[in-house]
Chains A and B, each alone.
Chain A
Amino acid sequence: MKALRVMSFAIPIILAALLMIVVRPVYPFVPEATGTGPNAYTVDAWPAGAQPINWLINPTRSSAITGSTSVTTVIQAAFATWTTAPDTNLSVISSPGTSTITDAKNVPNGTNLVCFVCTGVDFSASDGTLALTTTFSNGSGVISQADIYFNPSPKSLCFVTDAQSGGCPTQGDSAQDLQTVATHEIGHFFGLDHSGVVRAIMFPFAPSLLTTLSYDDLAGISTSYPSPAPVVPIGKITGTVNMAPNGSPVFAAHVFGNSTTASNPFAAFNNIRKTPIGTLTLPNGSFTISGVPADSYMVMAEPLDGPVDNTAVEWGLPAKTPTFNQQIQTNFTTRWH
Chain B
Amino acid sequence: MRVSTPLKVSLFLTLVMGMVATATTVVPMSIEGLTAASTHVVEGVPLQTWSQWNPQHTLILTYTKFQVQRALKGQAPAMVMVKQLGGIVGTTVQKVAGVRRLEPGERAVLFLRPGDVNDGTLVITGLMQGNFSVRTAQNGTQIVTNGMPDVSAYSVSTGEVTSYQGNHLRLDELESRVHKAVQQ
Using CB atoms and an 8 Å cutoff, list the residues of chain A in contact with chain B: 24-25, 32, 34, 44, 104-109, 119-124, 126-139, 154, 157, 174, 176, 180-181, 184-185, 188, 193-194, 198-199, 203-210, 305-307, 309-312, 314, 317-320, 322
Which of A131, A206, A311 has a CB less than 8 Å from the CB of B128?
A311
Using CB atoms and an 8 Å cutoff, list the residues of chain B in contact with chain A: 17-29, 33-34, 36-37, 54, 56-59, 83, 85-86, 88, 91-98, 100-103, 106, 113, 115-116, 123, 125-131, 133, 145-156, 161, 163, 168
Q: How far is the CA of A207 from the CA of B15 in the complex (A)?
A: 9
Contact A312 B148 (CB under 8 A): yes
CB distance from B55 to the nearest CB of A (A): 8
CB distance from A109 to the nearest CB of B (A): 7
Contact B152 A25 (CB under 8 A): yes
Q: How far is the CA of A109 from the CA of B20 in the complex (A)?
A: 31
Q: How far is the CA of A108 from the CA of B56 in the complex (A)?
A: 9
Contact B116 A119 (CB under 8 A): yes
Known: A130-B27, A206-B154, A309-B145. 16 other contacts (CB 8 A): A24-B152, A24-B161, A25-B150, A105-B54, A122-B85, A122-B116, A130-B22, A133-B24, A174-B18, A185-B25, A194-B97, A203-B154, A206-B25, A307-B150, A312-B98, A322-B101
Contact A107 B58 (CB under 8 A): yes
Contact B58 A108 (CB under 8 A): yes
CB distance from B168 to the nearest CB of A (A): 7
Contact A34 B123 (CB under 8 A): no
A contacts with B: majority SS: loop
Which of A123, A136, A185, A311 has a CB less than 8 Å from the CB of B100?
A311
CB distance from B182 to the nearest CB of A (A): 16
Q: Which residues of A contact B126 (CB under 8 A)?
A: 127-129
CB distance from A141 to the nearest CB of B (A): 8
